[in-house]
Amino acid sequence: MITRNSHSVQGVDRAWQRELAEAYRSPVELLTDLQLDPAEFGQGLEARRLFPMLVPKAFAAAMRPGDAQDPLLRQVLPVGDEFLVADGFGPDPIGEQDGPMPGLLHKYQSRVLLMLRTGCAVNCRYCFRRHFPYADHKVGAAELAQAHEYIASDTRINELLLSGGDPLMARDDHLAELVARFSDLPHLKRLRIHTRLPVVLPSRITDQLVSLLADAPWRVVMVLHINHPNELQPELVAGLARLKAAGVTLLNQAVLLKGVNDHADTLVALAEGLFDAGVLPYYLHLLDRVAGAAHFEVDEDRARALMAEQLQRLPGFLVPRLVREIAGEASKTPIDLKLV
């Protein structure tokens, strides 16, 4: 049986590493603990060969036992549709596999993205980097020195984004070393951390992490990845309150996913739940067309209709921007809602 972790938020430092080591890697084990019969899923579970399964037990604890259509389960369970070849879907949907140096992307003029860690705590089946050549983009001491030199040479860069994988896979002491390394760059104004790790492993919000971000020399923004209101579990909400109290700006970006959150009621509940937790909705992404994820795609007409209903039911500050990322464009591309 799946049980909730009693020390998710207040546990000792590195408890999250122990929990990650105990994460589900077998679809059969996960389904059995959810009181589902693996035989009913047939050969679809073999899609784990295309992209390994990884699901922390803290995240699985928020899934509904006995419900094969649970929206959290659908995001992480390998299925046969991943073997289908779909037109327009490929390994690099947003054209980011080339950068100025390994582990560093500079797509937008004022900000650079550093792939601090290539691993993640959960393998979402729609992940746009599921085919990314992480082995070619590992960031060690030499790469950090190169990144520092690159940012120092371009004073137009005022924001450092940490991504991955998931940057919070780095230990707190490693994050502290990074903050110290880049703190001498006067043109940096913000540190932005894009992460899903606290959502699937709330114990990652350690006292050390909160203190580090509170004392950072820049404004710190954490962009979470929460797709469904059921992901806003009490342990996560408690951790977010601590980050908020430390002065961290909390935003959320979700992906519109067929069978997960493609209903207005779900999106409205997500927006309200985020705000209750001190998080502002930021982006609602149309699916990045990565090979193996075509079954998650929601077409633009449906997406526009869902946005129109959110505009009717929510105050404007709780309505995320509907966007698509297009390779080579200078920014995210907003989807025009005037055609609804």
d(CA 165, CA 118): 4
Tell whether 120 is in a known binding site: yes
In a domain, 112, yes or no: yes
- Let me know whether 145 and 285 are in one domain: yes
In a domain, 76, yes or no: yes
Residue 10 — pLDDT band, cuts 50, 70, 90? very low
In a domain, 144, yes or no: yes
d(CA 170, CA 160): 16
Q: What is the mean pLDDT of residues 198-215?
A: 98
Structural domain total, the chain: 2
What's the pTM value of the predicted model, to 2 decimals? 0.92
74: which residues sit within 8 A by CB, 6+ positions away? Answer: 257, 259, 260
- Tell me which of 32, 50, 83 is where a domain ends: 83
Phi, psi torsion values for 65, nearest 5 degrees: -60, 140
pLDDT tens per residue, range 40-66? 999 999 999 999 999 999 999 999 999
d(CA 236, CA 9): 7
Q: Residue 11 above 50 pLDDT? A: no
- Let me know whether 61 and 110 are in one domain: no
pLDDT tens per residue, range 129-147? 887 776 666 788 899 999 9
- Let me know whether 170 and 282 are in one domain: yes
- Let me know whether 133 and 236 are in one domain: yes
- Let me know whether 205 and 330 are in one domain: yes
In a domain, 97, yes or no: no
- Let me know whether 64 and 120 are in one domain: no
In a domain, 311, yes or no: yes
Share of the chain above pLDDT 70, in %: 91
- Let me know whether 199 and 235 are in one domain: yes
In a domain, 42, yes or no: yes
**C-alpha closest to that of 255 among 86, 105, 130:** 130
In a domain, 315, yes or no: yes
Mean pLDDT of the residues in the chain:
92
Q: Which residues pair with 6 in a beta bridge?
A: none
Range of the domain at 64: 15-83
- Let me know whether 256 and 299 are in one domain: yes
At residue 105, the pLDDT reads: 87
For the ranges 66-70, 131-135, 177-181, 193-197, which has the lowest average pLDDT?
131-135
Q: What is the largest CA-CA distance in the chain?
A: 58
In a domain, 130, yes or no: yes
Whether residue 112 contacts residue 151, with contact meaning beta carbons closer than 8 Å, is answered with yes
- At residue 108's C-alpha, the angle toward residues 160 and 194, to 5°, is 45
- Tell me which of 30, 49, 83 is where a domain ends: 83
- Let me know whether 154 and 301 are in one domain: yes
d(CA 215, CA 88): 45
pLDDT tens per residue, range 289-334? 999 999 999 999 999 999 999 999 999 999 999 999 877 666 788 8
Residue 2 — pLDDT band, cuts 50, 70, 90? low
Q: Residue 218 above 70 pLDDT? A: yes
Domain with 306 in it: what CATH number? 3.20.20.70
Tell whether 127 is in a known binding site: yes
Tell whether 124 is in a known binding site: yes
- Let me know whether 109 and 39 are in one domain: no
- Let me know whether 64 and 111 are in one domain: no
At residue 6, the pLDDT reads: 40
- Let me know whether 209 and 267 are in one domain: yes
